[in-house]
Structure 1
């Protein structure tokens, strides 16, 4: 366990964040309790963040930046901190997503992390292991901040209809998740198409994959296994998966029909039921 007097700011992004938080708080002449009262958190939580025992959230960082006049330092650091909490094998993928100008995703079993609600993410991440679930959920949701950039990536998702029926958490969680998918209808940079059961055999039978495209670098295809990720810039693989994606988009429902199907499943399967 880190001790406040021996915290090494070079040990990790989390340690560096805690070191800077403590430095700015002390420069302002505030105790942990006093700062907590100002930002509406407990002094204990402030102390846990300062000693690298608790992962800060973007909201916490924004409030402390405002209270201490840090010029947004902690809000800039928190993305690095949260990314460091991702599994080591996934960090490269998070970096690719953060740099991509276009992301084309095909998902079979569940809504992908970039479009998950907090409740849905907790249900997915906690399926086998609830250890550190709050921090792992926060790290996953932080990846969605790429859509808050001045010029966010164009994100196109082809989602199997099966994912609408695979109940993660409970009916309330699923209702919220499908409503979240519908909320992107007016967003010209995020599009969701549903690949219906009626499509039958299709070009994505080998599994989920992403295609990342960049402003000046070669495109990359990403696939995932148990506890491992597999990004590749092999031109043959990129061409093959790009063609597969074109066929998946052609087989999927239109944006309008996809939204209607999502809404129908949300209401019929996960809506309020009268006994």
Structure 2
């Protein structure tokens, strides 16, 4: 869902920059590999703003990435109201902790894994799939930014092994990505082995973000969205549960060795 005022600003800027460059819609379309009618539809708001289109437009018009930056703002502002406080906490965090019993955490997903997961919701259109995918991939940029947080993820071994024949390649790629990410000193990935059959984390996924002032904010995911936890009692419970979950997981190097072992089984 685009934020309409920002989306309108992007369309106005696109048209202004195109006219300033003295390009007709047809001439501009050839440069960005879109048809005249597609360019017109974007400028009139009859076609959703397209990440690839705006990236090409930035290159052709020499904007320094203005249009794609505005699109990121529109997508962020278009997030559901329940998610925005967590996005803000995530962006400003000095440390992030996340536990996922059933999926690879969003900040560690490959593009192919993320797209496959988003597509499991058959109520959303292909355009919405790609929009949500773009937002998820943009969120991941915090892990490679100059002021990246310390990121600690705990996942279940069953998550790594959860795929059939059709998804072998996808999971091999995802595991290779997890292994590569775990080699960064600010990213710790710990695996709870399947021999640990019962623990408190299996109740559901959660995440924690610590800000520069030392305060913590939690986030709980559910089928209808999520809940931000910022009251002292709730945060204290999540911190306690984090310690319990983390204590069940393998150390960093043993987790990496297990991921390599599982990857070889998918290759």
Scaled by the length of structure 1, the TM-score of the pair is 0.84
Consecutive unaligned residues in structure 2, runs of 5 or more? none
SS of residue in 1 equivalent to 2:221: strand
Q: 1:11 to 1:175 in 2, by over 3 A?
A: same
CA contact (8 A) 1:203 1:244 kept: yes
Q: 1:28 — aligned with what?
A: 21
Q: 1:32-181 counterparts in 2 under 5 A?
A: 32-39=25-32, 46-52=39-45, 53-57=47-51, 60-129=53-122, 130-131=124-125, 132-167=128-163, 170-181=167-178
**Could you say if the C-alpha distance between residues 32 and 195 of structure 1 is closer, same or farther in structure 2, counting changes exceeding 3 Å?**
farther
Higher RCO (C-alpha 8 Å, min separation 6): 2
Shift of 1:205: 2.7
Comparing 178-187 and 71-80, the one that deviates more: 71-80
| Residue 254 (structure 2) pairs with residue 257 (structure 1) | yes
Question: Over the residues paired in the alignment, what is the CA RMSD in angstroms?
Answer: 2.5
1:186, CA displacement in angstroms?
Answer: 2.4
In structure 2, C-alpha distance between the alignment counterparts of 1:93 and 1:183, rounded to whole Å: 26
Q: Distance in 2 between matches of 1:211 and 1:111?
A: 16
Structure 1 SS opposite 2:83? helix
| Cα shift at 1:63 | 4.1
Q: Secondary structure at the match of 1:240?
A: helix
Change (3 A) 1:120 1:85: farther
Report the CA distance shift for 1:45/1:189 in structure 2 as closer, same or farther (over 3 A): farther
Counterpart of 2:195 in 1: which secondary structure? helix
Q: Which moved more, 1:60-69 or 1:202-211?
A: 60-69
Superposition TM-score, scaled by structure 2 size: 0.86
Change (3 A) 1:43 1:103: farther
Q: Output one character per residue of 1:40-78: Cα deviation in whole Å (capped at 9) or x when no partner.
A: 555555444434422332x65454334323243223212
- Give the structure with the higher percent helix: 2
**CA contact 1:158–1:193 (8 Å) conserved in 2:** yes
* Residues paired across the two proteins, number: 261
